[in-house]
Chains A and B, each alone.
Chain A
């Protein structure tokens, strides 16, 4: 069974640029959640996708957007990057059941200069 994978591992961008981060969910999981983890803080919920539809969003501006594909992999897009967007971005997948465990990928470290 393949776990959750994310790409790229590290990324450096400059302010104002756009970035796309990718996540492959665990086999059999149709729900993907994205989190932002700033240095020294806990993960913050960005949004969740369930069967290709957004299924809840945290307190993040519209320049954070996402997609989920028919194979349940997902993308996180961030436009007009700001310095404060520098963080570890985590993806987690889970079955749709309300109580189910979510499985995290290793994350993408984004640095905005």
Chain B
């Protein structure tokens, strides 16, 4: 069975600083990987996804993530954080023989942005 671990429950960064959110997954083969963002009172919005090919994936809002097979990781990065990035971030993994709707999610990382 697939699983996702987000080791950091809460991260605080200053506005303009760089950001890296960690995600480790467990799956027997190359999985489908996703990062979502959830703002208070809102549903989840997809930031980016990895299915195959280039291991560095570009997403919306200036985010990127890198798939590292040897480390079973898919960390999310942003070079300069804006106050509007404060939200909860979820990493998710899906099996390649299913679709995105059957994903397994981590428990999330809450991002606080200091002015």
A42 to B89, CA, bound (A): 9
Q: Is the CB of A105 within 8 A of B98?
A: no
A96 to B102, CA, bound (A): 12
Instruction: List residues of chain A with CB within 8 A of the CB of B105.
Output: 35, 42-44
Nearest residue in A to B49 (C-beta to C-beta)?
A: A101
Instruction: List residues of chain A with CB within 8 A of the CB of B103.
Output: 45, 102
Interface string of B85-96 (1 = CB under 8 A from A): 000001010001
Instruction: List residues of chain B with CB within 8 A of the CB of A94.
Output: 99-101
Interface string of B33-46 (1 = CB under 8 A from A): 00010000111111
Knowing A99-B32, A101-B49, the reply to whether A92 touches B42 (Cβ < 8 A) is no
Q: Is the CB of B46 within 8 A of A101?
A: yes
Q: Is the CB of B44 within 8 A of A98?
A: no
Number of interface residues of A (CB under 8 A): 29
Within 76-101 of A, Cβ neighbours of B (below 8 Å) are at 90, 92, 94, 96-101
A58 to B43, CA, bound (A): 20
Nearest residue in A to B88 (C-beta to C-beta)?
A: A42
Instruction: List residues of chain A with CB within 8 A of the CB of B108.
Output: 41-42
Nearest residue in B to A109 (C-beta to C-beta)?
A: B41
A42 to B36, CA, bound (A): 11
Is the CB of A24 closer than 8 A to any CB of chain B?
no
Known: A35-B105, A102-B46. 16 other contacts (CB 8 A): A33-B101, A40-B107, A42-B105, A42-B106, A42-B108, A43-B44, A44-B105, A45-B101, A48-B102, A90-B43, A92-B101, A102-B99, A104-B36, A104-B43, A104-B44, A106-B42
List the 5 closest A-B pairs by CB distance, nearest first.
Answer: A42-B105, A33-B101, A104-B43, A104-B44, A102-B100
